[in-house]
Structure formats: C-alpha cells, structure tokens
Structure 1
Amino acid sequence: MSFDVRTRDPGSRARTGTLRLRHGEVRTPAFVPLATKAVVKTLEVREAAELGYDMVLGNTFHLFLTPGHELIDRLGGLHRFMRWEKPVITDSGGFQVFSMGHGTVADEIKGRAPQSSGERAGAILRIEEEGVTFRSYLDGSTRFMGPETSMEVQAALGSDIALVFDECTPFHGGRDYTARSTERTHRWLDRCLAWHAEHAPDWQVVYGIVQGGVEEDLRRASAQEVAARGTGGIAVGGTLGEDKDQMFEVVGWAMDEIPVERPVHLLGIGEVDDLVRGVALGIDTFDCAMPTRIGRHGMALVPDPERRWRVDLAKARWREADEPLLDGCPCPACAHGYSRAYLHYLLKAKEHTAMRLLTVHNLAYLQRLMAELRDAIDAGRFAAAADAVMAGAAPWELAARA
C-alpha cells in the first residue's frame, strides 16, 4: 500500500492523490459507494466501476451475520464473491453493533429513543471489555463481536482496507461516558493491530478510527493516539455533532492532529455540500448510504442547494412533466431521455426500474462531482469550484464557472 499526494490546494487542505492497494488504485479525493451486503443496492456491483468508481465499501457486521465470512472465504473472498476486481474497504461493524443499543445519530437528534430490549432481535445484551454480545436482527440468536472477531471477519473477506473495531458513542452519552468509551476504543485498537499482525495477510491495510464525540480535547487526543499507532490510514468516525457547522468543526479538530502523509477517510458522510467541505479539510475518501437510499425512495440529485440537492419525483407535480431528469447529465438514466413524468409513473407503479435508474443517476452525479473537484484542485481553481457547487452549479459546469 502507498499513498501519494499529487497536488495541494494553497487556500485550504484540499489535495489530490493516489491510494495504491492490492486490487488497484483509488483516485482521491473520492466518494465510495456502499456495497453493504456484497451488492450496491438495485445494481450489479460492476456497474459502479462503469460509472467510474475505484472502490466500494462492504459491511463487516452484515456479512458476518449472513452469509458468513467463512463461506465467503471458502468461495474465494469478497472480491470474487461479488465479482468486483477493484479495491474494497470494509468497516469494522462497530457502528452497526452500537446502533442497536444507542440508535442512529438521526434518532438522537430527533429525540427518538432506541427500543433496547434484551428480548428483541437486534439488541445489545452486554458491552464489556472483551467486546459486545448482542441478539442478531435476523433470527434473535445470541452473537458476539469484539476486536479480534472484527479483524478475523475482515481478513476472511479479503478487503484491501480493514477498519478497526470501535465504539460509536452516542451524541447524548455525556462527556464521562464518551471519555471512557474512547479510551476503550484505543485499547481495542491495540488488540486489533496485534491480531492483524499475527494472522491477517500483510497486504491488507488497517485504518484506525478517531472517536471522542464532540469534545475538543477528547477528539484531539484520540487523533493523536491513533496517529501514534502508525496505521496505514486513519478514519474519522462517531458522532460528529448535531448540525453541519459543528460536524465540520469536530472533523477539523481531528484533521489538525493527523499527520499529512496519512490517507484519511470520513465515515458515513456524503451529502453534496459535505463532500465539498470535507475535501477542503483534507479528507481523501468518503462513504455514505445517501445516494442509493434516496434513489430507492424516489429522489434524484440535482444542483439545487435550497432543496438539499434533491428532487422528489414521487410528488404529484411531476405527473405530466415531460422535461428530462436533469439537462446535461451524462448518466445512463438521463442519456436515454427518460422524462420526469415517466420516472414518476414508475415510482407510483412500484416498478424497481425506477429505483435502479435513480440510483444510477445519483451515483453518477457524485462520481462526476468528485472527478471535477480533483480536476479543480490540480488546476488551482478549487475555491472557485467549491463556491460554484454551493451556488448550484452542476458538476459538469464547474470548469466553465471556475
């Protein structure tokens, strides 16, 4: 593994580079689509490569539960299993495990309490130093995941990048809980690295994860602790704040402490404006369920900041709209000239084709955005390109506007 920085933006921390891994190169900064259960939902994973993506993310927790890492290993590893020849990054499973007990960040911000019960499927039973015991959301069986389990699963999957097992602390957990949890995450980091050094293939790159909640001193200390371990890369995870300004302040604290030669991944973040701000802070790779999730719910990405870069094609206003999904968009869905009325009809008819077309469009939109941002950094016009995106320019318009 190697990471080479090509260009640095003089007005920010934005940079372009190349991440070289066992299964190929990743052009950075890059968005990484989710192949959560060894598939990009509604697509074949190879279609992500056809759209221009260099890497996808597999989910350790879900693949651990089904079909099981042992089976995937026997069948030749995750790449062969899903017929993807390019790099794969796998998360640790920590976020999914702890979401069963804490709920999601959205739950916390909206005041929804998680339904934690030891009798229901998908619930945490015990959090201990060894790891976490929980009930499977699939069948209610009791399962366990700890640092060594997570690394064993990821080694069996054969991902190019494996993330260490961590606790994703809740936003409302409080400072004392966050401090104790972050310290345990650092102990788990050491156990992950010890297991990996003894058992995992030497070509698999390990990323440590920065935690610390929204406490500045804890975030900075965590970033320093993770950086001191000498991992191949560093991910910024956990609860980052209750609004975007706080989120990027928290990310900035971590970035202050991370050595510039390390590649940095921002976990679970991928809205259009988040990508622009994250790139400006020096983030190299991002992942997020947003483009595929909103596509399955009838929404397409468009250059409209006032509506969060979305148009909801399930709305009745599009029933007779003969206009294309998005003028100038080169994605397959737009290139074939499908009208908004047709896509609205497919959604109302519950045709899976609609979800597929919108997913393709959304992924193509983000891929083009990241490619244009890379070009802008290399050409010395990142600030102008970033301003143009935030003002509502489409990705393919950035070169002309900057």
Structure 2
Amino acid sequence: MSALEILHRDPNSPARAGVLHTAHGDVRTPGFVPLATKATVKGLEPRDVKALGYDIVLGNTFHLFLAPGHELIKHFGGLHEFMRWDGAIVTDSGGFQVFSMGHGTVADEIKGRAPSGTERAGRILEIAEEGVRFRSYIDGAEKFMGPETSMEIQAALGSDLALVFDECTPFHATKDYTARSTERTHRWLDRCLTWHAANGPEHQLVYGIIQGGTYRDLRDESAEAVMARGVDGIAIGGSLGDHKEQMYEVVGWNTATLGDDPRPRHLLGIGDVDDLIRGVELGIDTFDCAMPTRLGRHGVAVVPDPEKRWRMDITGKRHERSEEPLMEDCPCPVCEAGMTRGYLRYLVRHKELSGLRMVTLHNLAYIARLMADLRDAVLTDTFTERAAALRAGDAPRAGLL
C-alpha cells in the first residue's frame, strides 16, 4: 500500500492531489518542503514554519553528519526533538552535497579527459564501490560516506522519509560516466534497502532516486530500476539540463515512465515559481529548494511578476522611500503588518536580522499559498486554467491553507 493517498487526478495532465501519510502527520500534496538543512529553517522558528502552512521540512544528512553529528542529535531523541518540529521531516542522503564538491582527478574522470594536475586539490578524495572519501569543509578532516553510513545517520536522525545514497552526476558528465555512475547508484540503492530492512526504524519511509543525467535511455532504465525495488517513494535527482525547457523534458520522461505508479514522487532541488507550476503539471507531488529562504536572506522578495522571474530586489534605490508593502493584498505576516519596502530595504542593506527574517517569511508564505492554490485547482478540475493564470502573473489565492 502506498504512503500517498491520491485524492484526485487532473483530467488534462498528470497532475494529482493527495495526502502523504507519515509517522509525524499528514503532508498535503502537491506541496513544497522548506529546507531545514542544518536543523533549522534559516531565520525562522519551527512555529513560524508551521503557521505558514507547512507540513514538512528537509534536513540534510551530509551537513548534520559533519556538525553537530548524528550521535548528538540521537542523544536528544532525534531530529524532531532536537529542533522541536512536530511535523514530518525528510532527510536528503548527503549524496548531492558530497558530489557537488567534486574536483581534481574525480572531475577529470567525469569530464572524460586526462588529469590536469591543477585540479588535484579537490575535496573528494575517491569515489569507489564502497562509497566516497572526502574532506570535511569544517576542519579538513578525512571522512567517509557510503550507502550504509548514510542510512545509519538517517536512522539516528529519525526522519520520516529517508533518501537513499546516490551519485549526483553534473551536467558536464559524459554519457559513459553517467551510465556507470547510474548503475553504481542502483547497486547502492540495494545496499541502502538491505541495511534499512535489517536496522532502520519501522516508521521511516525510504525513497529511491532516479539518475541518468540528460540521457533518455539512461533515465528510463533508472526509473524502471527504482520502481522495481521495494521503495516507498521515488525521487527525481541528478542533472536535469542546462535550461528550463530541457529540465521539463527530462522530468517529463521520468513521470511518463512512472505512469500510474501510486508511490509519492519528489523532485529534488527545484523551487522557482514557474518550475513548481510545471512540475505539478508533470505529476510531481513534492519539491524542495533553497530558493525562498536564500532569496529572502539577500533581500529579494517573491512577487507575481513573471517578467522578472517572480523576484523583486528591495535593496535597489527606487525602494528607499517606498511606503508600499512587498505585495498588495498579501496576507503574509509581514505585508499584513504594514511593513514598507523602504523599511525592509533599510534593514536588509544594514544586515539587520529582522529584515532578512521578514523577507524570508514573505517568500515562504507566497510559496505555501502557491502550492495550496495548485492543490485546490487539481481537486476542483480547474488546474489548466489556474496554472495559466499563475504563469501570467496572478497572485496565489489567499485563504486556501
């Protein structure tokens, strides 16, 4: 039985709406997952995130492994107790972070060329069948992570959803390297599942990850391989291309192969407004991305302006004397309180933490309402029209959370 209860499917697209059942509560889908990378959504308290309408956050296995360490978090009763979040938690396996540091001879192999010598100082020391040796970005100490290590850490964290350890190949990887990497990822998937079956928490759902770069045959093979395993959910990872249309094409390949498979689908690392709309249209259930919080920390507000990629940089001179809120008729706690662009600009430019926090609050509130709007549209058979309106610059409807 799938952990995802599909309530309704859009008659004109693969979009679907449902409820993902976890040990720490239900997650409404389609939904967005804010990043609590290091056991905190930067600048916010757990009660802030809950009040914005979120059911789930994401913690990162790699970063929490390096600091404060999974054993310390286990001492506090797991990640839920450590950060005082009573909703669901998904933990990324750490694969992306390990491989995003790829330099040196490893990068040479990925690119299909001879070692250059000038790149030998990379932090990844070795990618082997056993796992990956790398140097910590904190103190330079040599560390190891493999499938069993990743699952052991996630078991100690006690997350509701655990992602298997995989190699996230970059866009510039050759097809030969991508094929070999994807096959190894499938072998690692088997090892993750074996370890979890013997040692993992009973409540913890395990997601397999589709790889294969931008090569359709490899993507199809990977999707089939992941579906054939006894995973509880399916994540789409790896390089999705170098522009949006290619990304949508790659994601579409995967969801087409998944077909009517009822298991939950998660798209890793994607969160721009237009990408969320298109992702739901392609049949994705959940997304995670640093976009709303990262933009907030740089004074960039998410607004209904597709011509400017749904972004407004409030640090510009033109906002200095503005008495406008970030958005008209916005029900977020910042706009509702009457905070002006001029005030927020001053706070952000002078690095006042309250300013960074308030723009982050606005951004996450916008994304929460966007996902609620898309979910409601699927449930009411109005998705095609509503998606078109949101793409054209309509603000997400208030009151749906």
* TM, length-normalised to structure 1: 0.94
1:224 aligns with 2:220: no
Amino acid at match of 2:314: L
Amino acid at match of 1:135: R
Identity over the aligned pairs, expressed in percent?
63
- Are residues 78 and 6 of structure 1, via their aligned partners in 2, closer, same or farther at CA, if it must alter by over 3 Å? same
Amino acid at match of 1:320: R
- SS of the equivalent of 1:395 reads coil
Amino acid at match of 1:53: Y
Amino acid at match of 2:50: A
CA contact (8 A) 2:211 2:222 kept: yes
Alignment of 1:242-257 (within 5 A): 242-257=242-257
User: Offset of 1:102 from its aligned partner?
Assistant: 5.5
Amino acid at match of 1:281: L
User: Offset of 1:260 from its aligned partner?
Assistant: 2.4
Amino acid at match of 1:360: L
Alignment of 1:48-87 (within 5 A): 48-87=49-88
User: Offset of 1:47 from its aligned partner?
Assistant: 1.1
The answer for unaligned runs of 5 or more in structure 1 is 109-114
User: Offset of 1:257 from its aligned partner?
Assistant: 1.6
Per the alignment, residue 194 of structure 1 pairs with: 194
- SS of the equivalent of 1:221 reads helix
CA contact (8 A) 2:209 2:234 kept: yes
Amino acid at match of 2:96: F
Alignment of 1:315-354 (within 5 A): 315-354=316-355
- SS of the equivalent of 1:396 reads coil
Amino acid at match of 1:345: Y
CA contact (8 A) 1:18 1:26 kept: yes
User: Offset of 1:230 from its aligned partner?
Assistant: 2.2
Distance 2:131 2:118 in 1: 18
CA contact (8 A) 2:209 2:237 kept: yes
Distance 1:177 1:2 in 2: 34
The answer for unaligned runs of 5 or more in structure 2 is 105-109, 111-116
Distance 2:394 2:195 in 1: 47
The root-mean-square deviation of aligned C-alpha atoms, in Å, is 1.8
Amino acid at match of 1:47: D
Amino acid at match of 1:44: E
User: Offset of 1:388 from its aligned partner?
Assistant: 0.4
- SS of the equivalent of 2:101 reads helix
CA contact (8 A) 1:101 1:116 kept: no
1:130 aligns with 2:138: no
Amino acid at match of 2:256: D
User: Offset of 1:397 from its aligned partner?
Assistant: 7.2
Distance 1:211 1:341 in 2: 45
* TM, length-normalised to structure 2: 0.94
CA contact (8 A) 1:118 1:124 kept: no
Distance 1:238 1:46 in 2: 32
User: Offset of 1:116 from its aligned partner?
Assistant: 8.4
Distance 2:70 2:119 in 1: 27
Amino acid at match of 2:371: M
Per the alignment, residue 214 of structure 1 pairs with: 214
CA contact (8 A) 1:313 1:344 kept: yes
1:382 aligns with 2:392: no
Instruction: Name the count of aligned residue pairs.
Output: 388
